[in-house]
Structures are given as structure tokens and as C-alpha cells.
Amino acid sequence: MKRWIWIGVVVTLGLLSLGAVAHSQGADRERGMREHFGHRGGDRMLAMLDNERVRTALGLSDEQANRLRQVMVDAEKSALKTRADLGVRRIELRELMRADQPDRDAVMKKVQEISDLRGQLMKQRIESLLASKAILTPEQQQKIRAFMHREGREGFRGRRSFDRRLPRGPMAPGGPPAPPPPGDSPDQ
């Protein structure tokens, strides 16, 4: 009887550890998606650099826009490579943890590799931010911060980058409701 209890405990601990690894991978994947499509989205920033109104509003020269574009493209490429390495290490960790008796040293080494890659990603982000700040004047940095703060607070619903609210009509999202068609009034 005691043997079955111990087997149950070992199986439960194994399932819990696999669940923790899977949860960690899911959280990292979700964070990666947020970074790609969210407020750090590289595609959106690159599109803003191509927008003449944005460049004019920020006072960016063509040379500044080109240098910023290069910083963002280089950062995007290096982050993509690092995230791929991180994904491979997570798979390797998952496979190490599948063993009935995982090699503790190998598991801990893999965890350290994952931790190092996460640190590398953070350093890459900071390096690209510092490189971008070196290109911009303090006034341009302040304008960008104000713009990003406003966009973060208001979102992009019904907006175009650096434009004021678009006119709202009956069919526009968030606009007033369309009047009911003739003959559908509740008085009839």
C-alpha cells in the first residue's frame, strides 16, 4: 500500500513540475506576442517612420528616420534570433523534465541557459533604446513619450497614428447609432 502512495506522490510531483514548465512557456509566449503586437510593436514603429506627418510632427530629419529604422531592424533581427534560441532551450528543458528521474544538474544548467537568454533579450532591448535616444534630441524624445503615453491611454480605436480623432458618423466605430429605418418606429 505504501508503495502505491509513493508512486502517486512521484507521479503528482512530476505532473506539477511539467505543468509549471508549460505555464512558464505559455506566459513567455504570450509576453512575446504582446511585445510583437503591443506597445513595443516594431512593425507599427517602422510604419510611423514612413509617415511624413509623424516625421514632421516629431521634427525628424530623413537621416534620423533612416538611422532609427536601422536600429529597429537590427534590434528586431537580434531579438528574433535570441527568442528562437530561448524556444529551443525551453523544449530541451521540457524533454529533460519528462524523465522519470531527471538529471538535476542538467535541468539546472538548462534553467540557467534560459535565464541567460532572457537577460540577453533585456540587454538587447535596452541597447536599442539607448541607440535610439542617441539619435533623437531631448525635445523629440519628449514628443515621442507624450505620443506613446497618449496612445497607451486612448488606444488605437478609431485613430490613425499621430492624427486627431476622425469624424464619427453613424457607421464609424464608436459613432452615434444610426437612426432606425423608416417604418420601424415603436409608435406603429
| 9-13, 140-144, 165-169: the lowest-pLDDT one | 165-169
Within a domain: residue 186? no
Q: Which of 26-30, 43-47, 76-80, 175-179 has the highest mean pLDDT?
A: 76-80
pLDDT for 57 equals: 86
* Cell numbers linked to 71: 536600429
Alpha helices in 38-103 (DSSP H): 42-50, 52-58, 62-97
Q: Are the C-beta atoms of 49 and 55 separated by less than 8 Å?
A: yes
Give mean pLDDT, residues 59-67.
91
The alpha carbon of 106 is separated from its chain's Cα centroid by a whole number of angstroms, namely 30
Number of domains in the chain: 1
Within a domain: residue 104? yes
Query: Rounded to whole angstroms, how far apart are CA atoms 143 and 61?
Result: 15
Within a domain: residue 167? no
Within a domain: residue 161? no
The DSSP letter of residue 16 is H
133-166 pLDDT, tens digit each: 999 999 998 988 887 777 666 554 444 444 444 3
What is the average pLDDT value for the chain, to the nearest integer?
Answer: 75
pLDDT for 85 equals: 97
Whether pTM exceeds 0.85 = no
| 34-38, 67-71, 76-80: the lowest-pLDDT one | 34-38
Within a domain: residue 174? no
Within a domain: residue 176? no
3-state secondary structure 122-177: HHHHHHHHHHHHHHCCHHHHHHHHHHHHHHHHHCCCCCCCCCCCCCCCCCCCCCCC
- pLDDT: which is higher, 14 or 53: 53
Within a domain: residue 34? yes
Contacts of 114 (CB under 8 A, 6+ apart): 86, 89, 90, 93
Q: Are the C-beta atoms of 86 and 121 separated by less than 8 Å?
A: yes
Q: Are the C-beta atoms of 93 and 36 separated by less than 8 Å?
A: no
Within a domain: residue 63? yes
Residue 83's domain comprises 2-149
Does pLDDT of 167 surpass 50?
A: no
Q: Are the C-beta atoms of 110 and 86 separated by less than 8 Å?
A: no
Does pLDDT of 86 surpass 60?
A: yes
34-50 pLDDT, tens digit each: 444 333 456 777 887 88
pLDDT-derived band at 123 (thresholds 50, 70, 90) equals very high
